[in-house]
């Protein structure tokens, strides 16, 4: 199984999953993963770190992480105090229902998080209590599977997202800081450079030279903090860009491969399929069929 693509099982007509009150250890935590579904991760207790997109966050009780689809992320529990979390996974279409208010989007917080590249929200106690209650209700519905349970899950998710969006609107602004002090400065700068221009040649020798560290040290720290080697990380970032171009432009697959920094079309096809399970053309076609 590809280590970066998180598989989802179950009914494709009910694209929703809840992992409830899950205690993680370093041995049980997933490797870095990348998927189309939107994800909310709530921390009940314990501590650790969370690498999302290009930023390292501390993980502590009451934190909520808002992760849009196609965002690289990796979580590392503290060895002495591993965290207990609940995670929701759902497709954007599942959250979007007919709205009486054209100005409201249930995915507003995800859109803002992606725009600001800020994925962590600290929850006030009142909102924490409401979230934990709603997570418990969703878990009960999924366990009992009584009449209308899928609709009940969708309604509870809508309530949860509305509360989240109202809170996020008051705390996420253009001035929101995303520097949480985790990781050395040269690593943050290297990740920022890759994020801004994933198509550029980002070999180990060049990146370590820019960072003023030796290649072995760069490679060791990069893998330790992100869980990926440099080549795999750059490829994942390039495929995220390719997905955006396949969705938002009429460029040919060949042009997109070049724009994303791939030297050959066969190499682009090989990497794209390894990370998505589909060829670029099949991926674009699948989006049109949704």
Averaged pLDDT for residues 259-276 = 93
90: CATH = 2.60.120.280
Averaged pLDDT for residues 60-82 = 92
Boundary-marking domain end, from 108, 142, 171: 171
Boundary-marking domain end, from 113, 137, 171: 171
Q: Supply the pLDDT for residue 26.
A: 53
Assess if residue 123 is contained within a domain: yes
**One domain for residues 30 and 128:** yes
Q: What is the pLDDT of residues 175-206, one digit of tens each?
A: 555 555 567 889 989 999 999 999 987 789 99
Q: Alpha-carbon distance 84 to 66, whole Å?
A: 17
Owning domain of residue 114: 16-171
265-285 as b/e: b if 16+ CB within 10 A: eeebbebbbebbeeebeebbe
Q: How many domains does the chain have?
A: 2
Question: Are the C-beta atoms of 78 and 50 separated by less than 8 Å?
Answer: no
Average pLDDT over all residues of the chain: 87
Averaged pLDDT for residues 130-142 = 97
Q: Does residue 65 carry a pLDDT above 90? A: yes
Assess if residue 245 is contained within a domain: yes
Averaged pLDDT for residues 221-231 = 88
Assess if residue 101 is contained within a domain: yes
Averaged pLDDT for residues 17-26 = 83
Q: Alpha-carbon distance 268 to 254, whole Å?
A: 9
**Which distant-in-sequence residues (6+ apart) come within 8 Å of 140 by Cβ?**
none
Q: Does residue 132 carry a pLDDT above 80? A: yes
pLDDT: which is higher, 80 or 288: 80
**One domain for residues 223 and 246:** yes
Q: What pTM did the predictor assign?
A: 0.83
Cα dist from 145 to 96, 138, 148, 272, whole Å: 22, 10, 8, 37
**One domain for residues 83 and 155:** yes
**One domain for residues 147 and 35:** yes
**One domain for residues 69 and 199:** no
Q: What is the pLDDT of residues 153-180, one digit of tens each?
A: 999 999 999 999 999 988 876 555 555 5
Assess if residue 226 is contained within a domain: yes
**One domain for residues 83 and 131:** yes
Assess if residue 263 is contained within a domain: yes
Assess if residue 7 is contained within a domain: no
Give the rounded percent of residues in the chain with a pLDDT score beyond 70. Answer: 88
Q: Supply the pLDDT for residue 182.
A: 67
Q: Does residue 57 carry a pLDDT above 50? A: yes
237: CATH = 1.10.10.60
**One domain for residues 159 and 36:** yes
pLDDT band at 27 (very low <50, low <70, confident <90, very high): very low
Averaged pLDDT for residues 26-47 = 77
Averaged pLDDT for residues 193-222 = 91
Q: Does residue 9 carry a pLDDT above 70? A: no
**One domain for residues 277 and 235:** yes
Assess if residue 3 is contained within a domain: no
Q: Supply the pLDDT for residue 28.
A: 46
Q: Supply the pLDDT for residue 2.
A: 44
**One domain for residues 36 and 108:** yes
> Which of 44-48, 66-70, 73-77, 148-152 has the weakest average pLDDT?
73-77
Q: Supply the pLDDT for residue 184.
A: 86
10 Å CB burial of residue 13 (0-12, 13-18, 19+) is exposed
**One domain for residues 57 and 161:** yes
Assess if residue 5 is contained within a domain: no
**One domain for residues 149 and 205:** no
Boundary-marking domain end, from 171, 196, 219: 171
3-state DSSP assignment of residue 268: helix
**One domain for residues 192 and 153:** no
Q: Does residue 29 carry a pLDDT above 60? A: no
């Amino acid at each position: 199984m590809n280590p970066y693509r998180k598989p989802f099982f179950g009914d494709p007509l009910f694209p929703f999953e809840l992992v409830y009150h899950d205690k993680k250890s370093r041995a049980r935590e997933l490797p870095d993963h990348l998927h189309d579904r939107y994800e909310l991760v709530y921390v009940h207790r314990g501590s650790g770190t969370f690498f999302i997109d290009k930023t390292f966050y501390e993980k502590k009780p009451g934190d909520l992480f808002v992760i849009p689809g196609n965002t690289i992320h990796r979580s590392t529990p503290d060895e002495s105090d591993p965290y207990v979390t609940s995670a929701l996974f759902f497709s954007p279409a599942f959250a979007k229902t007919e709205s009486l208010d054209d100005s409201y989007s249930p995915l507003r917080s995800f859109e803002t998080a992606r725009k600001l590249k800020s994925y962590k929200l600290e929850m006030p106690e009142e909102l924490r209590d409401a979230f934990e209650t709603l997570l418990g209700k969703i878990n009960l519905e999924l366990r009992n599977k009584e009449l209308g349970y899928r609709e009940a899950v969708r309604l509870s998710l809508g309530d949860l997202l509305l509360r989240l969006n109202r809170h996020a609107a008051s705390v996420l602004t253009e001035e929101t800081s995303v520097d949480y002090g985790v990781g050395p400065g040269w690593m943050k700068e290297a990740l920022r450079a890759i994020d801004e221009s994933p198509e550029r040649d980002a070999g180990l020798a060049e990146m370590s030279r820019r960072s003023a560290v030796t290649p072995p040290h760069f490679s060791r720290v990069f893998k330790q903090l992100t869980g990926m080697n440099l080549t795999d990380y750059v490829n994942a970032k390039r495929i995220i860009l390719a997905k955006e171009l396949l969705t938002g432009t009429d460029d040919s697959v060949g042009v997109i491969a070049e724009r994303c920094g791939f030297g050959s079309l066969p190499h682009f096809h090989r990497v794209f399929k390894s990370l998505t399970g589909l060829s670029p053309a099949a991926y674009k076609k699948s989006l049109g069929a949704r």
